[in-house]
A = this chain, B = another copy of it.
């Protein structure tokens, strides 16, 4: 079971599916993981990427329903055993991969914008499935989780609000008031997919049930809200840099006296923060790995342009300009470095749990979207004027990377979290540096040197 270094020379690990993995990761992959990574690679390369233009064409005329091609591919991927790979192996429902192993799959999925969805590994489904698997009662699981795992239902996570600084989730204000056997919801929400998408089934909504509770972490409650509940109005679909992201979209909502049965509460009233905490870690890693895969593809496109024989400004291939040689090297370096950061975060979660991985996860979330934006932006620039057009998928790639920079809170929020934690370590360092000074004082005497203080 514990993989041995010899696995490094395993012929199954030599192909392009494993090409970018650092040796230490290869050495940790179980036979099942090796098989799944290869299968995901074959799926994405052969079934997804060549169909990208077909998917686009099917969406053209039919904005707010899932295209038939997606249904077809999801059926096939399920048959091939590629569904729900993200669910870590400590869940009963898991196909058996570790976070680290799934991360290798996620990078490959990222090469095609919608490939993860064909494998039921797309946000927000992944986070929602993990949440329901973790916190629901058996009855709830049967009703809400199983259809998601089967891919026959679709869910949304509804947290952000327009009226507060919701990156600080304690401020979430939508009112969730108990009335008899029901909860009544009133207020506004942003994001969490688009109600216009007829295939959306339910929201997992975080609301404020007890605004005056003395403990601010106990004021909120998480509820399951079916989409067809009366009183939910979608004000508009929010575009991201002009893209509508149909059919999933990003709704802006009003809730007017929306009523759901009390049995739809997850974990219990006032326990929304327990749930929110548990939800975010792995999802961030998935996003990051997909972004890395996408950025690798952008990088390949840049290499293609660098070597396109038709494009020779001043008589040289674009890739013969030293400035571009250096740019490519810098991109390669940043891609490889950020992969190491995320894989280490995934490994840390596997070995020590999500909480122990908190810093590494936050670091991934800060680093990857920013670097991905930067690299994809440079790839566009290498294409000159055509770089911003539909000539390549680069504009969609950049937009997705940019979106991830604000999803789950902007960089600054994560930096604040890491930075505040780090400040706490100052006291230990103060003691250590004081000890240096104390020892030096004694040693100065011993060596007959003058003690010098720079205080």
A416 within 8 A of B: yes
Kindly state the separation between the CA atoms of A347 and B318 in the bound complex, as whole angstroms: 34
A97 proximal to B (CB < 8 A) = no
Query: Does A399 sit within 8 A of B, measured CB to CB?
Result: yes
Nearest CB of chain B from residue A143's CB, rounded to whole Å: 30
Nearest CB in chain B to that of A28: its residue:
B24
Determine chain A's interface SS by DSSP, over half rule: helix
Interface size on A, residues (CB 8 A): 132
Residues of B within 8 A of A28 (CB): 24
Contact string, A244-255, partner B, CB cutoff 8 A, digits 1/0? 000000100000
Task: Decide: B389 and A238 in contact? CB cutoff 8 A.
Answer: yes
User: Does A239 interact with chain B (Cβ within 8 Å)?
Assistant: yes
Asked if A92 is at the interface of the complex by the 8 Å CB criterion, the answer is no
- The interface residues of chain B lying within 8 Å CB-to-CB of A432 are 45, 300
Contact A351 B444 (CB under 8 A): no
Known contacts: A57-B450, A449-B57. The answer to whether A312 contacts B165 by CB under 8 A is yes
B162 adjacent to A455 (CB under 8 Å): yes
- Number of copies of this protein chain within its complex: 4
What B residues does A418 contact at CB under 8 A? Answer: 328-329, 332-333
Q: CB distance A351 to B241 under 8 Å?
A: no
Q: Which residues of chain A in 381-429 are interfacial with respect to chain B, using CB atoms and an 8 Å cutoff?
A: 381, 384-392, 395-396, 398-399, 402-403, 405-407, 409-420, 422-423, 425-427, 429
A106 neighbours in B (Cβ, 8 Å): none
Residue A276 is within 8 A (CB to CB) of chain B in the complex: no
A329 touches B433 (CB 8 A): no
Known: A240-B388, A327-B419, A340-B341. 12 other contacts (CB 8 A): A51-B440, A54-B443, A165-B384, A168-B313, A323-B325, A324-B419, A325-B415, A328-B419, A329-B414, A380-B406, A381-B405, A381-B410
Which stretch from A2-10, A150-158, A220-228, A260-268 is at the chain B interface? A2-10
Among B242, B333, B415, point to the contact of A399 (Cβ < 8 A).
B242
Q: Contacts A242-B395, A337-B340; is A310 near B53 (CB within 8 Å)?
A: no
Q: Please tell me if the beta carbons of A24 and B344 are within 8 angstroms of each other in the complex.
A: yes
> With A314-B168, A351-B8, A429-B304 given, is the CB distance from A440 to B54 under 8 Å?
yes
* Complex Cα gap A165–B390 (Å): 18
**In the complex the two chains form, is B329's CB within 8 Å of A416's CB?**
yes
Q: A425: which B residues are within 8 A, CB to CB?
A: 303
Q: Which residues of the partner chain B approach A311 to less than 8 Å between Cβ atoms?
A: 164-165
Cβ of A326 and Cβ of B419 under 8 Å apart? yes
Known: A51-B440, A54-B443, A352-B8. A426 touches B329 (CB 8 A): no
Q: Is the CB of A440 within 8 A of B50?
A: yes
A-B contact pairs, 15 of them (CB 8 A): A5-B351, A22-B344, A164-B311, A165-B384, A236-B390, A238-B391, A240-B389, A241-B388, A242-B399, A304-B429, A327-B419, A333-B363, A333-B367, A337-B363, A385-B407
Chain B residues lying within 8 Å of A236, measured Cβ to Cβ, are 390
Closest B residue, CB atoms, query A371: B337
User: How far in angstroms is the closest Cβ of chain B from A138?
Assistant: 32
Could you say which of B4, B313, B405 contacts A167, with CB atoms under 8 Å apart? B313
Report the Cα distance A300→B164, complex, angstroms.
20
**Given that A240-B389, A321-B322, A406-B388 are contacting pairs, would A381 and B8 also be in contact in the complex, using a CB cutoff of 8 Å?**
no
Q: A247 CB to closest chain B CB, in angstroms? A: 16
A360 to B363, CA, bound (A): 21
Contact of A398 among B23, B69, B241, B360 (CB under 8 A): B241
A82, CB-defined interface residue at 8 Å: no
A65 on the interface (CB 8 Å rule)? Answer: no
Residue contact B306 to A423, C-beta cutoff 8 Å? yes
Q: Name the residue in A4, A322, A360 with the highest tally of chain B Cβ atoms < 10 Å from its Cβ.
A: A322
Among A22, A250, A386, A412, the one with the most B-chain Cβ atoms within 10 Å of its Cβ is A412
Write out the residue numbers on chain B whose beta carbons fall within 8 Å of the beta carbon of A395. 239-242
Output the least CB separation between A162 and chain B (Å).
7
Contact call B426/A306, Cβ cutoff below 8 A: yes
CA distance A27 to B385 in the complex (A): 39
State whether the Cβ of A190 lies closer than 8 Å to any Cβ in chain B: yes
Residues of B close to A306: CB separation below 8 A = 423, 426
Q: List residues of chain B with CB within 8 A of the CB of A391.
A: 238, 454
